[in-house]
Structure 1
Amino acid sequence: MHKDHDLMGLMKFLAREDWKEPFHAVLDEHFGPAMDAFDLTHDDIEDLLDDAWAMTLWGCAFEDFLTRDLEPDGRNLVEDYLKRRGWKETPRTKAYMKELRTSVMSLYEVSEIVPGQSLRARDLIRAGEPIVVSERSTTHTLKPWDKIAARIVPQRDGHVFAGGLLPFSSEAATMLLDGIHDSLDKDSLSSPFMDDKLQTAAPLFTLAWLFDVLPKALGEEQPVLQNRDGEEIVFHTVRFPLAIRMTQKEIGTRLDTLQDLRRESETFWNWLGDSPQTRDGKDQGAMSLDVTMDDGRPVLGNIELKERSLLLMVNSAARAARGTAMLQEVLGNRVLTPLTEIQTVDQMRESSQGQPAGASSIPPEIATPIVHAMLDKQYRETLDEPVGMIGDVAPRAAVKTAEGREKVADWLKFLENRSASHNDPTDPMVTYDFGWMWRELGIQDLRQ
């Protein structure tokens, strides 16, 4: 904490009897609905979250309280403190307290991050030009297009964040924006009194964050992942060693006789299913994870020749059994007894998150140009294909309207943010430059 932002005197003053009850009422506004919804106490929430987040949430309520004029006499904590104890504070600390007194919590989208120095924050509620904010710690963890709830406080030499800063997932941001728009009438969103209106909605920021984070902290059941056949997603890699003196060319020739295999390269085939159709076994409450070809045929798995082995890669136990039988029938004694490696979704997620930087066996200088070239090809094709996030309209078509341009910008920001989320800074996904897509679609002015 900057020495000019030390609020310890103000916090001690809060312990006076005449401020305790009003502050507890504000705490209840910030936490009460979440406590009721999840049947938790304040202590339960503190136990579920680490100490840093518990203090941040308390800080959000505290900073909200600093802006309140209490009934019936309009008392305010900051004004009362400065009147009685202001002589103890430096001029810059008093100025900071006065700015907090009139501050407003809002939702921001960050960009142009300079680690250890600054970032640009665009207000997603009140609009306007992005603000350059001097910031050290959070610039090391934030990624372009991340969304945060915060109070931006003007200083003599720029702008800074107050202490109550909450990172928002895309889902939580949508929940918050919906709540803000529901609680405030449309006219107030663009009126000169917007700040006053928004101040009353400060508890919604804490609640939206809690309603997003608490279910995960409580370990609520995650959505079931299934493939189109209603089978639980469990990744199987079946490795068939090639028989002695058997060549890859001979194996490839045999695989080409299978109608459901489509050769994509000298050593790679897609295993295709029937044309898309609804399957009765599919759980309607489950999330589907499958890939389709351009003609709509689903990809059941992949087959690849690697040195002296043939690999079958599928996403369920049933497909592993079907694929193994199919390959053994067509290849016979050309391959030996297969070995199977199994990995659940959670195991795959944990292994990818725990992988240290540079752990990939492929050097970045080799992987990067290959991956970037593949991404260029994929995204260039995507520009002319329907995209669900922009209403099943192709990006090139969507940018012809003002509303479509905004949707395409949000989609591109989502792609960039997701790409930057990988832990390894040398990962080709992290270093990929999406700038050409903004320029190609003529909306680079919205990349802010």
Structure 2
Amino acid sequence: MTVTTVSVESQAIKAKKAARALSLLTTEQKNEVLYKLADYLENRAETILKANDLDLSNGREKGYNEAYLDRLALSKERITDFANGLREVAELDDPTGDILSSWKLENGLLVEKVRVPLGVIGMIYEARPNVTVDATGLALKSSNAIVLKGGSSAINSNKAIVEVMHEALDETVVSREVVQFIASTDRETTQQLFTMKEHIDVLIPRGGASLINAVVENATVPVLETGVGNCHLYIDRDADVEKALSILVNAKTDRPAVCNAAETLIVQEDWLKLHKEALIATLSEHDISVFGDEQVVSVIPNAKLAGEDDWKNEYLSLSIAIKTVKNVDEAIVHIDQYGTKHSEAIITENKETAATFMKLVDAAAIYHNASTRFTDGGALGFGAEIGISTQKLHARGPMGLPALTTVKYQMTGNGQIR
């Protein structure tokens, strides 16, 4: 199916017109919409799963690896999870209309700084059908319309999900026009979205480095940049062995294909000497392939010598790079050079070392004695998330409802003139 420039633009225009009505809805009305979406998604799970099976079959024919297929795959449990995510968003405080600050001038003019929706969000993403639901829920709760452009690998799943959501919206006070889905696998349609700043207020790319870079470098529409996750786990000299290995296993193997999985393990060399057998056993038990420096290769069986690309790599699989360092300062230098400012963790019982790490490492999320897998909107209590921002302007870290708003200054007077 080919979508012309005109039709893509018309979808953006429809979204912009529909967004105006969202600003007039009460929080209760928006919550009712989210509950309706959640119920429809669960009740129509079989329809969605049939479409997902087609995407998975196409993916296997194209040779997608298991990590990629895992991101693409849906199940009744996963559909229930993202339906529950919508219900959780409904329970969250509505940020729109919040008065962030107010003051009265000497002339009696009342000034209020109010949180308002962005307007129309353009969401460009790859093989994660759950993003279709998460992004829509967050957009609607924050009174934004949304234009969705998913990747070709999930085209059938996304179409089915949006069709179900449209059916649900038809049973509410909200027009289905607030959720636009560009049902095209043509890359040109993505390029077209880059330049529709007259109709779209912000673009949010979510996916691999090539997608994110393409949006950031080519878009004339403002971009809320999400980032890839070359996440590091640093095991310090004073790390508890059991705690360190448990966190390593979770951060690397729980869902290796997601952006908050650990990709590089940095180990203080004295800790490695003392606990190498336990580390080797853990890596072997969980089938983790190792690319390491010379010291690592000399200690860990079957480890391959890491090249420059390994320190930069977001493996998204059961592979990991391992770097040895003398102290926390060397660990921080390595992270500064190769990290993507996403999520970084230190395992240590030394509070001073942990404080140094957490103050000096530049990333959206920093952990002490905990897994990087918690960099997630749901895990941190935001409900669903629209992405994880690694930039420093407007929003940083997991982006929930407040990240999808901006501010407006409202002045109320009694005839004041200047």
**TM tier, shorter chain?**
under 0.3
Bigger Rg, structure 1 or 2? 1
Higher relative contact order (CA 8 A, sep 6+): 2
Normalising by structure 2, we get a TM-score of 0.24
